[in-house]
Amino acid sequence: MNCPICSNEMKLGKIRARAGGGLFWLPNYEEVKYTVSNNIIEKHSGIVIVDSNEIKVSHPAHVCAKCRKIIMDY
């Protein structure tokens, strides 16, 4: 899928929640089985979206209910 903003190829993956707080994205081909550190997430080609130590608990995001896409900055 191409990014609607810059037209570059987007990577398919999943957004996961971390016990104790935080969100991260992992490519579909990667898996982490337990509560993990930022270093482990990044070692598995993941991106930390919300750090577990952040106080900020909301991030701006745009959603299209029709095509079920979410675009957010992290």
Query: Model confidence over 18-29: pLDDT tens digits?
Result: 777 788 888 888
Tell me what pLDDT residue 54 has: 60
Q: What's the pTM value of the predicted model, to 2 decimals? A: 0.70
Query: Model confidence over 51-71: pLDDT tens digits?
Result: 876 655 566 777 777 888 888
> Taking residues 32-55, what's their average pLDDT?
80
* Strand ranges inside 7-65, DSSP E: 13-17, 23-27, 47-50, 61-64
Q: Return the percentage of the chain with pLDDT > 90, whole number.
A: 0
d(CA 10, CA 71): 11
Q: Domain locations in the chain?
A: 13-72
